[in-house]
Structures are given as C-alpha cells and as structure tokens.
Amino acid sequence: MWTWAFLLPTGLFLLAFTYLPVLRVAVEGLSALSSLLAPENLNALRVTLLYTLLTVPLSILLGLLAALALEGRGFLRQALRALVFHPVLLPTVAFAAVFLYLLNPLGPLRGLLQAVGLQNPLGDPLGAFLAVVLVGVLKDAGLYMLYYLAGLQNLPKELLDAAQVDGADRVATFLKVTWPLLSPTTFFVGVMAALGALRNVDHIFVLTKGGPVGATDHLLYRVYILGFEYFDFPAASALSLALLALLTLLALLALPRLEGRVHYDA
C-alpha cells in the first residue's frame, strides 16, 4: 500500500501529461490520416527524406575523416579534436545563429557569396536547403568523430601490423582491414545520425522557418506549425503518427542487426 501511495503522484503526472496526450494524438491522427495526402504534407515528407539521405552519409564521412586525421597523440591533434567537437557542445540554436549571421547578404561572407553567384543563400530554395544540410552535418560530425576514434583505438593491432608486413600501404590497409573492422561502429553511428536527422529541427527554426516556398519544411517542423500556429491538431497528430512510423521502421531495421552483433561479440 505504501509503495502504491508513493507511486501515485508520479503515476498521475505521467497519466495527465504523457499517456492521455499520446492517446489523444493517436485517436485524432487516425481520424485525419487523409490529411497526409495534402501537397504541403507530402512536400514535408519529401524534404525530410531528402534531408536525411544527405545529412547521414555526409556527417558519417566527415566524422570518419576527422577521426583518421586526428588519431594519435600530440597537442596539435588534441586541439584540433576539441575544435571539431566544439559544435556538439553548443546549443543548436546558437550554432545555427552563427551561420545565420555568416550567410546574411550583408554579413562578412557577402563578397565570397557574390563571387559564386549567391546573393542571398537563405532566400533561394536550393541554397537554403544546402545551408540547413551543412549546419546539420557540422553540428553532429564531432560526436561521430569520437565514436570512430574509440573504434580505431580498439582495433586489433596485430592485424594492422600484419598488413604492414605484407606490404600493404595506408589506403590498402584502410580498405581491407580498418574499414571492415569499423563496420559495427559505422552501423551504430548511422542509426544515431538517422535518428538525429528525423528529430532535430532547431536550426530550421533559426535559419529558414521551413522556407523559402517549403524548401526546408521538415516533417517535425510541419507538425509544430500545424499544431501550435494553425491549431490544426488532427493534421498535426496525423503527421506525428507518420514520423513515428518512420522511427519505428528504422528501429525494426536496426535492432536485429544490433542484437546479432551483441550475440556475435558475446
């Protein structure tokens, strides 16, 4: 009885602010699934998938290259690691605000932007989308660098030494030994990057607010606009269910491989 008495306040809080809202979202979303076929919502889904397909491999590649370049000891490498990792420590809003200042038509990069034909990158659909992708990649690449550094440090040294004895150069050693051994790290980082691409939209609020003409209208940002600006909660709930379906599909694809690797390692 005392146990249930102590759990009751927390249970009531969860019921009022978690479970009942989730139930409401499910009911209203299922009743408004037809709204998913609206052109604006289909565009948000397309933008989200394209954004994910670009940011995930680019952030993984940048993190891997940074880890390979900065592996080892030395003050300079430590300083460069801290520099690459620094955006991870910054709030996404603050990091995006830096790029909002840099990409401003009157900002410090206006000469360079004009030289490449970009008078106002954030006012052009393609330029705005690429800017959002750039911020997303640079924000998370430092975290993935740490994962790859940990993976590189745990590689069997005898295999690397054997490759050198056999006469393999650095490129061959990486392609034949290092990269295959890093596949568990790459898979984990890929799942993390995909989840981040589907959930992180703070920089879109700061840089573009979904524009211009819907070029950066992320699915999660669209949920916010529908729910808290237009107060169209059924449509927002339907989009939330669509996003939940994407995350669930990603989990279903990832978990069997993760469990297989855990059993293999054991």
Q: pLDDT tens across 74-94, in order?
A: 888 889 999 999 999 999 999
Mean pLDDT, residues 174-200? 89
pLDDT of residue 259: 54
Burial class (CB in 10 A: 0-12, 13-18, 19+), 118: buried
Asked whether residue 56 carries a pLDDT value surpassing 70, the answer given is yes
What average pLDDT does the structure give for the chain? 88
Asked whether residue 266 carries a pLDDT value surpassing 60, the answer given is no
The more confident residue out of 123 and 110 is: 123
pLDDT of residue 205: 92
pLDDT of residue 111: 79
Q: How is residue 68 written in tokens?
A: 């390979």
Spatial distance between the Cα atoms of 49 and 54, rounded to a whole number of angstroms: 9
Asked whether residue 223 carries a pLDDT value surpassing 60, the answer given is yes
pTM: 0.87
In terms of Cα–Cα distance, which of 132, 120, 124, 51 is closest to 96? 132
Split at pLDDT 50, 70, 90, the class of 4 is confident
Spatial distance between the Cα atoms of 191 and 196, rounded to a whole number of angstroms: 9
Spatial distance between the Cα atoms of 123 and 145, rounded to a whole number of angstroms: 32
Q: pLDDT tens across 133-174, in order?
A: 999 999 999 999 999 999 998 888 888 888 888 887 888 888
Q: What is the DSSP secondary structure assignment for residue 19, as one 8-state letter?
A: I
Taken in order 62, 194, 199, 196, the sign of the CA dihedral is negative
pLDDT of residue 257: 62
Split at pLDDT 50, 70, 90, the class of 264 is very low
Mean pLDDT, residues 102-131? 84
pLDDT of residue 141: 94
Mean pLDDT, residues 21-32? 88
Q: How many CB atoms lie within 10 A of CB 188?
A: 17
Q: How is residue 138 written in tokens?
A: 């640079």
Mean pLDDT, residues 236-261? 79
Q: How is residue 9 written in tokens?
A: 């306040």
Mean pLDDT, residues 183-192? 89
pLDDT of residue 258: 58
Split at pLDDT 50, 70, 90, the class of 256 is low
Q: How many CB atoms lie within 10 A of CB 76?
A: 8
Split at pLDDT 50, 70, 90, the class of 262 is very low
Mean pLDDT, residues 239-248? 88
In terms of Cα–Cα distance, which of 5, 50, 39 is closest to 235? 39
pLDDT of residue 114: 77
